[in-house]
Amino acid sequence: MLDSMLSFMSTVIPVIVIGGFVFVIGFSLFIWTKNNNSPLENKQAHIISKRLQVSGGSENHSTHTSYYVTFEFADGDRKEFQLTGPQYGLLVEGDRGIISYQGTRFKGFQRQTASV
């Protein structure tokens, strides 16, 4: 009984682990392809919020920070993009300008200054 259970588990666990890896790689390739096939869009928008998410950091493990900015377009639609730290640092809530993006991939933001 114990031998059959160990045999079953030694088959099932690797299948689950390998299946998980295949799923993650497949999903990542799907998103990458979808973004590459999406048109490059340039739209008028303003920044309505910035946030960051810190993960890790327990005991002797290093931390990782993810940076997110939410843009609102002229039609009221909102999109949140993940940015790098330097990109995030250059943006301020309330900034208005032209955002460039391709699918879910942030490409850049050209700030428009208020005319006097």
Which domain CATH number covers 46? Answer: 2.40.50.660
Q: Are 33 and 47 part of one and the same domain?
A: no
pLDDT averaged over every residue in the chain: 92
CB contact at 8 A, 7 and 80: no
Alpha carbons within 13 angstroms on the beta-carbon side of residue 111 total: 10
Alpha carbons within 13 angstroms on the beta-carbon side of residue 83 total: 25
Flag whether pLDDT at 115 surpasses 80.
no
pLDDT at 41: 96
pLDDT at 83: 97
Q: 8-61 pLDDT, tens per residue?
A: 788 888 899 999 999 999 999 999 999 999 999 999 999 999 999 999 878 778
Alpha carbons within 13 angstroms on the beta-carbon side of residue 70 total: 9
Q: Are 32 and 59 part of one and the same domain?
A: no
Integer Cα distance of 59 and 18 in angstroms: 30
A 10 A CB-CB count for 83 gives 19
Q: Domain of residue 74: give its range.
A: 41-111
Read off the pTM.
0.77
Residue 116 counted as domain residue: no
